[in-house]
Structure formats: C-alpha cells, structure tokens
Amino acid sequence: MKKKLYIILISIVFNQLFCFQISQKNKSKVSACEVKSNQLAPINHTPNLKDVAFNQSCDPVSAITNEGNIPGDQGAVSIRVQPKASQKMKIALIIEQNDTFLDEVIPSLVKNLDGFGQQRTGFDITISHNEVVHHKKDIEKWFKQGYQLIIFVSGQHDELIWRVYDASQATMLAGKKAKIAQLSKEQITDYLANELWTLLTGQESIFHTKIAFCKQYKHKNTILRDIYATNPCAYKPQLLVKGGKPLAPRWNKNEVNPLLLYSEITPKNIRLMSADMNGNRRIVSNWDGMNGWTSFASDGKAVVFCLSKSGNSQLYCHEYDELTHKINVTQVTHNSGNNISPTLRDNGDIIFCSDFETKYPQIYYYHADTKVFERIATDGYCASPSFCEKNHMIAYCKPINGVMQIFTYNIDTQEHKQLTFNEGSKDESCWSPQGQYLAYSVDLNSKSRIALFNMVTQESLYLTPETEYCVYPTWSSGHVMVSENINV
C-alpha cells in the first residue's frame, strides 16, 4: 500500500513540474529585399521588412532566429573558419547609425567572437564608425585591404539591424532586423554574437546558454551556498537561489520554461527543489534520505533521478507514456550500492556512477532495451560522469598520482582518453550543448573555481575568479534568459 501511494504521489509531483505544453507562435513572413546589381541597399533603407517584436516572456534568440530575416543575394550561406594556426578571417564591422548603446555592445561583441575557443581559429575584426556605404566600390576598398567579410550594424531607438556582405563579390549573405526595446545591452550582445557565430562557423554557439553553479561562503560559522548562472563567454553571474545548502544543480531541457533543479540539505533530509528564471522556488521531492541528481530526455517527457528513501541511493525513471497517456515511475537499479550522477539518453539508456560491485565509484552504462548494466571503467576510482549526445562521449573524473583529472570515454570506439594533466583536483564535469567544451570545478590550495576546457584546442581557462569558492557547474542545453529581477 505504501509503495503504491509513493508511486502515485511522485507521479503527481513530477507530472505537474515537467509536463509543459509548448505553444507555437505565429511567425511573420518577410518579403525579399531587392538590391540592384551595382548598388547596395544602405542600412537605413530596408524596404519590405517586417519588424520583429520581442515578447517579454519569450527567449530573444528563438524569436529572432525564426523571424525577421533579410534574404541575401546568394541564397544559402556557407562560411567556415578552418583551424589554421597562422590564419584569421579579416572582418570589417561597420557601425552606421547609433543610439550610443552600440558603443558598449560592439566591443563586447568583438570580445565574445574573439574570446575563448578562438585562440587558433579566430577572427581579426576591425571596427569602423559612421562610414556610409552605398555602392560596390565602397565594399571593394575593404576587400583590397584583405577583408573577407563586411558586417554592417545599425542601432536606432528600439531597433537593431545587421547584415553580412561577402567583400570579394560585394553581395549580401544574410541579415536581420529586430525590435530590442525589452533587451539589456548584455542580451543584445549575446543575440548578435549568437547570430554571427552560427553564420561564420556553421556551429551552434554557446552565447545564449548558461552555466549554473554554487558559490560557497561562510556566514556566522555556517557554510552556505548560493546558486548563480552566468554566460560561459563572459563572467557576469546572476543570482538564482539565495542561501541554504544547495548542491548538484541540473537544468531541465525546456527552452520555453527553463528550470534549475537542485538538492538542498535540510535538518531532516536532502530534498529536491526547483527554481525558475525569476528565482521562484518549490519543493519537487521531499522523501526521507536523499532526493536529487535529475537528468532529462531532450523532449522533456522522461526524467531520471535519485532517491535513498529505502537506504541506499537508487535510480528511478519518471516517464510519460504517449499511448496510454499515463505517467510511469520505474525503479531502475536494485542493488546494494549507491547509484548517483545519472545522465538519461533519448533512447532510454542511462550513464551513472555506482559502487555496488567494487565498493568504490565506477561508471556504468544501463542498456534500456536489454536491461543490462555494463561497467565502463574497469580500474581505479571513477566518478562524476557526464554524457554528450552530440559527440557520444562520457566525461568523468579519475585520480592520477593523487590528483583528480578529467577523462573521456567514446561509446562508439570504446576508447578512454585523459584530457587534463595540470594541478588541482577536477570534479563535476559537464558538457556544452554541442560538445565543444567541458566545464568542471578545480580544487587547488583550498580554493575552488569553475574552469572551461576547449575540445578543439585542448586548452583550458578559469571562468570564475580566484576570490570566489565555486562548485557544481551545470550547463544548460539551450537558450536561457535569467530575469534581471530575481525573487530571493
């Protein structure tokens, strides 16, 4: 009877929290912008363009990406930056009309485009102010100076327009127009960086993603933590959860209703909490023992989590059945060990950490179709797994000469590789959405900082400052906007 009641209650809680209906918004149609063969349409003259208004409750990137395109002269755009150490793409960024806000936006934009990850495959960007360009010959002079692309940016009142031209042909490749009255300068910078990065590299950018983490401090001889979220390219932390003892935050995968789920230590148990991007919190699961370590499928219809209500931590899966329209809660593990840090794949497979066989942490792969548990690592202490669906790699931590280092395991080739070799013990690694970067904490000299590792350049740098003690990083799977006015 108690087990049946438990299944019903946990179903209700997770169903209310995770089952969202994503409404489809009407998309504006944009008619073609005709440009004569010997003349360029200047920034301040964009005929037949339909304005794109940002909805306050809508993510700006989503709104812009689907609407407000300025069709280019060449149709589909194909621009790629190849990783050549001695070559950088020369770009001229021309500001024509400006309401002064671009004076702050553009330098930040250039810093983002030429920031971390661009040490070897970057751009050489020159900013030019108040230059009027009307004809092909105006573009050609830039091309003769070695510039491959020309980017025009115009900002006036609540409107932003950008366009990209191929300098060699003096033809427009792409462009967009948007209303920006409801956006901060940081959000405008992120929007432009996201659009231009995707166009220039053909890769999804990380400018609109967020890394959440716990910042630890002492208050009246008590260790407390706050949860912050920051842009991974520029450290500008925004407070989400104030006070308490939160740990192991995890993002859901709903870009319409982004939530951060985390465990919170209380005098009675470790309960599972959620916080939205306005800082509103609620209890998700409050059973005896430990509640936490959630992981979502991409469609949000299934989530795996940990409960220790019966003693050891076991994995449970909460899933919506489209055929029966019912919620199913299934216990996945039934062993004598502690099973934590799960990652749920879209096919139902689960990667997690457990000590049930060797009495010390190991990485396991649960095959949902055969119900078979496969041990990935066969030696040593291995913990904190994080799986990326894009590159099919598991990142995990393993001690080498007494220092925890980051390793990866490719589930296709079954190869292990050590990524980090430097001082400081690493923990809680997490992937960027496309698998280009890893974020993790580094504990060194009684300090803990969040670091980023570039999978292309194999280089790392610190995201958080040395003066802050930061742990438990988690990377959002898509675009996230954190409110400027958090309820704490």
pLDDT digits (tens, 9 = 90+) for 254-279: 888 899 999 999 999 999 999 999 88
The more confidently predicted of residues 424 and 89 is 424
Mean pLDDT of 408-415: 96
Bridge partner list, 78: none
Cα separation, 334 vs 339, in Å, equals 10
Residue 76's CB is within 10 A of a number of other CB atoms, namely 7
Lowest mean pLDDT among 62-76, 144-158, 400-414: 62-76
Mean pLDDT of 14-32: 34
Residue-level pLDDT at 203:
77
* CB-CB contact of 167 with 133 (8 Å): no
**Class of CATH domain 60-201:** alpha beta
> What secondary structure does DSSP assign to 341-356, as a single string?
EEEE-TTS-EEEEE-T
Residue-level pLDDT at 321:
78
The more confidently predicted of residues 171 and 44 is 171
| Mean pLDDT for all residues in the chain | 80
pLDDT tens sequence across 304-352? 999 998 889 999 999 887 788 788 889 999 999 999 999 999 999 999 9
Lowest mean pLDDT among 158-172, 184-198, 422-436: 184-198
Strands (E), 369-413: 372-375, 383-388, 393-400, 403-410
Residue-level pLDDT at 1:
45
Mean pLDDT of 423-428: 96
Bridge partner list, 444: 447
Lowest mean pLDDT among 47-61, 284-298, 446-460, 468-482: 47-61
* CB-CB contact of 173 with 72 (8 Å): yes
| pLDDT bracket for residue 483 (50, 70, 90) | low
Could you please state the CATH topology (level 3) that the domain comprising 2-20+209-475 is classified under. Answer: Neuraminidase (2.120.10)
The more confidently predicted of residues 41 and 107 is 107
The sign of the torsion formed by the CA atoms of 5, 9, 14, 20 equals positive
| pLDDT bracket for residue 291 (50, 70, 90) | very high
Residue-level pLDDT at 116:
55
Provide the token pair at 440. Answer: 């993790």
* CB-CB contact of 212 with 228 (8 Å): yes
| pLDDT bracket for residue 17 (50, 70, 90) | very low
Residue-level pLDDT at 180:
84
| pLDDT bracket for residue 243 (50, 70, 90) | confident
3-state secondary structure of 225: strand
Residue-level pLDDT at 186:
81
Smallest CA-to-CA distance from 438 within 397, 470, 399, 402 is with 397
Residue 114 contacts by C-beta under 8 Å, 6 or more apart in sequence? 122, 123, 125
Does residue 47 carry a pLDDT above 70?
no
Mean pLDDT of 40-50: 32
Smallest CA-to-CA distance from 312 within 294, 286, 288 is with 288
Mean pLDDT of 133-148: 85
Mean pLDDT of 31-42: 33
Residue-level pLDDT at 486:
57
Does residue 33 carry a pLDDT above 70?
no
Residue 284's CB is within 10 A of a number of other CB atoms, namely 23
Query: Token pair 């996945």 is at which residue?
Result: 332
3-state secondary structure of 195: helix
The more confidently predicted of residues 85 and 145 is 145
pLDDT over 70 percentage in the chain = 78
Structural domain boundaries of the chain? 2-20+209-475, 60-201
3-state secondary structure of 423: coil
3-state secondary structure of 6: helix
pLDDT tens sequence across 56-114? 223 333 333 333 555 444 444 445 444 444 467 899 999 887 667 888 888 888 887 87
Mean pLDDT of 440-457: 94
